[in-house]
Amino acid sequence: MRSTRQCSRTACTEAAVATLTYVYADSTAVLGPLAQHAEPHSYDLCSVHAERLTAPRGWEVVRLQPEFAVPPPSKDDLSALAEAVREAGRGGRTGGAPSATEPDTVTETARRGHLRVLRAESD
């Protein structure tokens, strides 16, 4: 499933479509397609902020793509969304009840927030 990351700009809630990285040694800002994974030293930008990007004086901006747009949802995205809704509809499994994907020999012994402690019974 393609991850829908949010724009890195403060208070922007739009989906990211481009990734900005800086090459400090060359005084260059590189704006390209959205990276597969979020990196700590890069910035994800929405189409509006990607189009309006400017660099500091003396820096060069390299745009690897002329314009950026949010891609339409793929079949994988819709399938993942449907699965997430199904999982949420199953509700909170508490009290040691095994989940649908766990074998019968595994029981939940404790829960803290979204984390669960599981114990496997040995044969």
Please tell me the predicted confidence (pLDDT) of residue 83: 75
pLDDT at 84: 76
Question: Smallest Cα–Cα separation from 17: which of 29, 28, 27, 2?
Answer: 2
Query: What does the pLDDT look like over 56-111, one tens digit per residue?
Result: 999 999 998 877 776 666 666 667 777 777 777 776 554 444 445 667 777 777 77
Beta bridge partners of 119: 107
Tokens of 15: 């989906």
d(CA 109, CA 58): 60
What pTM was estimated for this model as a whole? Answer: 0.54
Q: What percent of the chain has pLDDT above 90?
A: 36
Measure Cα distances from 95 to 106, 108, 109, 111, 117 in Å: 12, 7, 8, 9, 11
